[in-house]
Amino acid sequence: MTMSLNSATLRRLQKLNQIASVWEGDRRPFAPATSALESNPESKGECILWVDGSQGVVRAMDVVAEDTGPEAIVRTLLRAIEHPNSPAKPARPQKIVVRSREIQFFLRGALQELDIAIDYVPDLPLIDELYRSFQEVVDSQVPELPPQYAQALNQKAFEIWHGAPWEVLEEHQIISIELNQWDVGTLYASVMGMLGMEYGILLYRSEESLKQFRAKVLLEDESPGNLEEAFLQQDCLFLTFDTDEEDEEDEEDEDIIDLADLPLTEIQPSFGNIHPLEGLRSVLYEEEAIAMYMALEGLNRFIRDEREVLSDDEIIPLKHKYKISPPPTEAKTKEKPIAVTVATMPELTAELEAMTFDGDEDDDEMPTFQSLRDDLIPEDSFLSLGVVSWEMVGYLRTGAIHHQVGQPTQAGDGLPVILIQTSRPKAMTIITTIQEAGGLQGIGFNPGADPFEGERYDLGVLKTENEEMFLFGEFLDTDPVHVAARKKWDERCKNTGGYCGLIVARGLMGASRGKPHLKDMMALFVGQNLSPQDLGIGTLQLMPQFE
């Protein structure tokens, strides 16, 4: 059944001037340029065009899904009449020509009483020419990845994602990958992601480019414009990960989504190249694609083989040589494996680390103890006093960031621990702060008092190796739950010879809140159980705040 326009719309359209012109209208399949992987036929659409043949202008254009009904061509026509593209003015044509009998009959039924002649013609010369131009543009666009390597590269990217090299390597801990093929000598891999903000691999073509970029971004007086310029001065290939979800409006500034918490179906790898003379290019050509594939495969094998050693704070000399076959193509001939040498770079890593922390040297002149800080643990964190089995401690020593002072006695039901669970980026901030302070010296509870309310508190304190102290919790002395937990804590610490631990975990939201899985536990710091005398800060009193 053909629908017709309602009376109000008809009256509005009839008031418009009718010009002595013939418009061409059509609906045709239209395949926009896509990446090599976007071969799903459902992604194809159809283009609707209305062209004024007398003036030679496109009055309106739409792209709709292939299964959209014939009403769409009427909607686009109404826009061409009332709200045409500039420089055309609102008007009704005297005549419309189409090349489809079906469209002709539908328009005749829908546009009754508008006094517009609707005719059939076998050819639409203006629209034919426009479509030829569109197709030339589409055909001339280079795909983001060479089609013959796209599947292999994306598969390799997801292997990197599963391998998660950012769990063991920081950005300044550089891995060299020697190829000596495809005009590439050695690539220098910098792994992004340990802070849970951006995930990816930067493959620098030279040490100089890597050093120059880090030196520029670490300058305190760098403006956003200068940082952008520094970014474009890099000489590297890159692989980055992002999400398919474009739902940025729902994100809070302080609660940035960590990609590691998303399902794999929402992760999207992107490849590209940065060069001082080319700028940023989100396209890899054939030789670049092969070099990227070989480097990623070499890095993936190296991380897998040396993961436990790389988990240590100190990077030691490591080197492996792998025989890696270039990515497969449709050609049946299999290429010979290429020797790829992958190695750590302790000296370059130390140099970059020194550049990063140069600005902290002045802090050494400050007093070792200033105050009890309360800026380490985020306010929305989950906190608990508990215990982990010795078996779990063994797993964490090899599978998480680990720092230990002394050797606890493996007695009782396990190691007494403070669990702090927050989002991954905030967890990484906690871990980095403790690491930069030399590690965890110990955990203690110190008396506190609110003289105005007559309340007494048990204040949880973390003490780092540089003598800084951080408040991690305030517990009422009269809280029976905390009293029982403290009693258990003290008993367990006696069993271990005075040792306890701090576990920093991710996964604040969802089912894992309060019950983190092993994969959620990002760091274990083992230190001494400190008494109030060890802390040496006396009873802390809440001071009134006057405005």
Q: Do 169 and 191 form a contact (C-beta atoms < 8 A)?
A: yes
Give the whole-angstrom CA distance, residue 432 versus residue 236.
Answer: 27
Confidence of residue 220 (pLDDT cuts 50, 70, 90): very low
Q: What is the pLDDT of residue 369?
A: 38
- Judged against a pLDDT cut of 50, whether residue 229 lies above it is answered with yes
Confidence of residue 257 (pLDDT cuts 50, 70, 90): low
Q: What is the pLDDT of residue 116?
A: 93
- Judged against a pLDDT cut of 80, whether residue 415 lies above it is answered with yes
Please state at what angle helix 346-357 crosses helix 207-217, rounded to 10 degrees: 20
pTM > 0.75: yes or no: no
- Judged against a pLDDT cut of 50, whether residue 69 lies above it is answered with yes
Residues 388-397, mean pLDDT to the nearest whole number: 87
Residues 241-258, mean pLDDT to the nearest whole number: 55
Q: Do 194 and 208 form a contact (C-beta atoms < 8 A)?
A: no
Residues 214-235, mean pLDDT to the nearest whole number: 71
Nearest to 176 by CA among 325, 318, 326: 318
Give the whole-angstrom CA distance, residue 150 versus residue 169.
Answer: 27
Q: Do 449 and 456 form a contact (C-beta atoms < 8 A)?
A: yes
Residues 336-356, mean pLDDT to the nearest whole number: 89
Q: Which long-range contacts (CB under 8 A, 24 or more apart) does 180-184 make?
A: 181/290, 181/291, 181/294, 181/338, 182/287, 182/288, 182/290, 182/291, 183/287, 184/291
Q: What is the pLDDT of residue 365?
A: 41
First-to-last CA distance in the chain? 74
Q: Count other Cβ atoms within 10 Å, centred on residue 217.
A: 12
Residues 487-516, mean pLDDT to the nearest whole number: 86
Residue with tokens 């006094």: 115
Residues 377-385, mean pLDDT to the nearest whole number: 86
Residues 513-526, mean pLDDT to the nearest whole number: 85
484-to-386, 413, 471, 490 alpha-carbon distances in Å: 11, 16, 21, 10
296: helix, strand or coil: helix
Residues 331-336, mean pLDDT to the nearest whole number: 66
Residues 13-30, mean pLDDT to the nearest whole number: 90
Tokens of 390: 């010795």
Q: What is the pLDDT of residue 331?
A: 56
Could you report the per-residue pLDDT of 151-208, keeping only the tens digit for each?
999 999 999 999 999 988 988 899 999 999 888 999 999 998 876 668 899 999 999 9
Tokens of 479: 């809280």
Q: Which residue has the higher pLDDT, 252 or 13?
A: 13
Q: Which residue has the higher pLDDT, 236 or 131?
A: 236
- Judged against a pLDDT cut of 60, whether residue 295 lies above it is answered with yes
Share above pLDDT 90 across residues of the chain, in percent, rounded to a whole number: 37
Cis peptide before 451 (omega within 30 of 0): no
**Which residues are 272's β-sheet partners?**
238
Tokens of 22: 């013939």
**Which residues are 92's β-sheet partners?**
18
Confidence of residue 93 (pLDDT cuts 50, 70, 90): very high
Share above pLDDT 70 across residues of the chain, in percent, rounded to a whole number: 84
- CA 109 and chain centroid, separation: 52
- In whole numbers, what is the pLDDT of the chain averaged over residues? 83
Could you report the per-residue pLDDT of 441-481, keeping only the tens digit for each?
999 998 887 766 778 888 899 999 988 899 998 888 888 88
- Judged against a pLDDT cut of 70, whether residue 284 lies above it is answered with yes
Residues 403-428, mean pLDDT to the nearest whole number: 87
Q: Which residue has the higher pLDDT, 526 or 379?
A: 526
338: helix, strand or coil: strand
